[in-house]
Structure 1
Amino acid sequence: MATKLKVLLLEPFHSGSHQTWAEGLIKHTRHEISFISHPGSFWRWRVRGSALTMAEKTQEIVNDKGKPDIVLASGMIDLAAWLGFTKRFIGDPPVVLYQHENQLTYPVSSGQSPDNSMKFVNWKNMAIADQIWLNSNFHKESLIEALPEFLSNVPDLSHSHLLEQAIDKMHVVPVGVELSEIVSSDSVENPPLVLWNHRWEYDKNPEAFITSLIKLKEEGVRFNFAVTGENSPEGSEAIKSQFGKLSEFIVSSGYLPRSEYISLLSKTDVVVSSAMHEFFGISIVEALSAGAIPVLPKRLSYPEIVPEEWHDFVFYSNEKMTDRLREVLNDIDNWKKNVAGLGEAMRRFDWVDVIKCYDDKLEEIVSDGL
């Protein structure tokens, strides 16, 4: 019979994909979760300061419910500091670090300088955790590639001798996605509906999306489009400033409540990404599950998320997003056939299936006495 563990879940940045992950885990797990979170804002302050405030909440939970069997901590925390603040009352539970992203390989926007202090927190977290879970193999391999140079760039007493130990603790554990409420559709809007469902920030490269749509409209290609996701332009003036004359073809803009977002997915014909950074891709998994035709760059986590049999129909190369999007919009029906079955393949990321991996691994760690 499966064991029901007392799991302490720490999420210092409860917003966006981090929030989706935490809420999905809490909803589907067979274990008993005690949850501590902080709002998803001021991310640098969360990394620097959340250890102490989360330790205070941890003591309250321990006083009320007893010591946890295991701790699962999302990455925007100084985990070593948190363990120091809690050592007098938490006991010695195994600690799993869930690394949604990392600062060693995160692209830096123009005008910004890399913050090595954030990178060192990432490294110390990996050094102190009993296991390190990463959301994709791409994330894992890119991190392993970046660590040696980072660890060698110190004045003395390098930590490089601890690298292999950290690598041995790394496991790929994908993000679960809430897909049961998303219904796949084969219908086509007239004109076709193109969706951008990512954060509107530099690492997602929205400028390339705007440039592509402008060029296709100038050519007379017919489409409407929607922009949703965190930090998306909201309001008519913001839309006009970003899209100019294209704003008359936008059917939705800005972050949507879940029910409205699901409804939008059911009408979406094409989903587009021009991202420079993506360690998993929840929004892409959602759109593909709804039957959208993907127009994605052949890089980052995408070739791992999309099974190889569809690669020829999903990916563009050498920054040729506009060319592929043109092909798709001019022949929607055939492109729908090209990606038939892909939506069903995305169902492997449904929390209903992924949760067994989480629950079993947590139980295995405790039983092994890590």
Structure 2
Amino acid sequence: MESKRICLVEPFFTGSHRRWANELAQRSRHDIRILSLPGRHWKWRMHGAAITLAEAFLEEREPFSAILASDMLDLPLFLSRIRRRNPSIPTGVYFHENQLSYPWSPRDGDKKRGQDLHYSFLNYTSALVADTAFFNSDFHRQRFLHDLPGFLERYPDYHNLDTVEEIESKSQTLWLGMDLAAFDKHRVPNRGSSDNRPLILWNHRWEYDKNPIGFFRILYRLIDDGIDFDLALAGDRFEEEPPYFQEAKKRLGKRIVQYGMLESFDDYAKLLWKSDIALVTSHQDFFGGSVVESIYCGCHPVLPRRLAYTDHLHPDDFPDVFYNEEEEAVDLIKQLVGANQWRKPFHEGPAMGRYDWNSQIDAYDDALAKLSEIVE
């Protein structure tokens, strides 16, 4: 099939955004050129990156068949800067997350001043001007479209609610591609095969939206109920060490076998295979890549019945995985430990392989080819 030249524009080139972009470029049959900026100052990136990256785009000598921008780009501003030379180039936007549905930290200065709407509006207008809006999960697509009318009605007049249907008509799910196969060569036996107490895993960002306070509250309750366990606290942190992690370090002491981000992927992969229980308490996960990784590696998931997790495992098929209240999460873990279920890896791990690039890349290539063929 014909190879297209695609420009992937990513203003926040770090973490999962960088990994996804690089892996897509490496695996696609298309020629994908990444234009990016360092992943810091996310609010400034959403404002100013469009100007800087438009200049980089205009310096490219070979023409592109299409543009695929991430949700961190002010796409209307970007297109306004390149339109004289590229008046009708097909454009897609890929939503890793969106600011309409994102739970803002109460410590955020813009939130305190009531100035938190603009970033959501940038996501709205980007979806509006794009030819196709891609979302990394069904949950994310549905949540964005559900939240749009209420968001627009927060403005004083001329709400343009008809644009919601317009955006819906060109929206589709393009599941997050992941290099899950990279975990396979690091497989080791889980702790349950050799130890008398389970290893509970946290492998998310150390930030508000992942709800670490709720996570530790459940762990403290388990200790009060006499449940013995060890704990691995991995994952990125972009700011100073949060106080609730400092408190957990003191209260959980020798139970903690890992504290902080691991230096290499090899070590991270081995930790996931060793771990037994993945307790998740997040307020936000539009896909949940770290959760999928832990399930793939055999961790028994304990998940809130919300967000994208029900895309990965259906609650009707896995009632012993999901909880509504924290007390239920405590009970689920106590059942896992009491029945010794944690000693054997979670049996649905291989099913997560459907998100591996080997399963996803054809869908991406077909979507990019179709995008490239859109004519004004």
- Counterpart of 2:158 in structure 1: which amino acid? L
Are 1:220 and 2:220 an aligned pair?
no
Q: Which runs of 5+ in 1 are unaligned?
A: none
Residues 334, 50 of structure 1: alpha-carbon distance in 2 compared, 3 angstrom cutoff? closer
Residues 150, 82 of structure 1: alpha-carbon distance in 2 compared, 3 angstrom cutoff? same
Residues 313, 7 of structure 1: alpha-carbon distance in 2 compared, 3 angstrom cutoff? same
CA offset digits 1:98-153 (Å, max 9, x no partner): 01111111112225425111111111101100000011111111111111122233
Q: How does 1:300-319 map to 2 (within 5 A)?
A: 300-307=307-314, 310-319=317-326
Residues 246, 76 of structure 1: alpha-carbon distance in 2 compared, 3 angstrom cutoff? same
**What is the TM-score of this pair, normalised by structure 1?**
0.92
1:273 pairs, out of 275, 280, 291, with 280
Q: How many angstroms apart in 2 are the aligned matches of 1:27 and 1:355? A: 10
CA offset digits 1:200-253 (Å, max 9, x no partner): 111111011112222222333221111111118999x99653332303111112
RMSD (CA atoms)? 2.2
Q: How many angstroms apart in 2 are the aligned matches of 1:240 and 1:108? A: 22
**What is the TM-score of this pair, normalised by structure 2?**
0.90
Are 1:155 and 2:161 an aligned pair?
no
**What is the deviation of 1:91?**
4.8
Q: How does 1:36-115 map to 2 (within 5 A)?
A: 36-61=35-60, 63=61, 66-112=62-108, 113=111, 115=116
Matched position secondary structure for 2:330: helix
Q: How does 1:264-343 map to 2 (within 5 A)?
A: 264-307=271-314, 310-319=317-326, 320-333=328-341, 336=344, 339-340=346-347, 342-343=348-349
**What is the deviation of 1:365?**
2.2
Matched position secondary structure for 1:262: helix
**What is the deviation of 1:334?**
6.5
Percent of aligned pairs with the same amino acid: 34
Q: How many angstroms apart in 2 are the aligned matches of 1:116 and 1:310? A: 38
Residues 37, 195 of structure 1: alpha-carbon distance in 2 compared, 3 angstrom cutoff? same
Matched position secondary structure for 2:32: strand
- Counterpart of 2:42 in structure 1: which amino acid? W
Contact 1:95 1:129 in 2 (8 A): yes
**What is the deviation of 1:161?**
2.4
Aligned residue number for residue 19 of structure 2: 20
Deviates more, 1:188-197 or 1:278-287: 188-197
Structure 1 residue runs of 4 or more that deviate by more than 6 Å after TM superposition: 232-235
**What is the deviation of 1:318?**
2.3
Q: How many angstroms apart in 2 are the aligned matches of 1:67 and 1:210? A: 52
Contact 1:6 1:69 in 2 (8 A): yes
Deviates more, 1:179-188 or 1:258-267: 179-188
Residues 220, 48 of structure 1: alpha-carbon distance in 2 compared, 3 angstrom cutoff? same
- Counterpart of 1:141 in structure 2: which amino acid? Q
Are 1:205 and 2:211 an aligned pair?
yes
Contact 2:205 2:236 in 1 (8 A): yes
Aligned residue number for residue 118 of structure 1: 119
**What is the deviation of 1:350?**
0.3
Q: How many angstroms apart in 2 are the aligned matches of 1:78 and 1:334? A: 46
CA offset digits 1:294-315 (Å, max 9, x no partner): 1111111101112456421311
Q: Which runs of 5+ in 2 are unaligned?
A: none
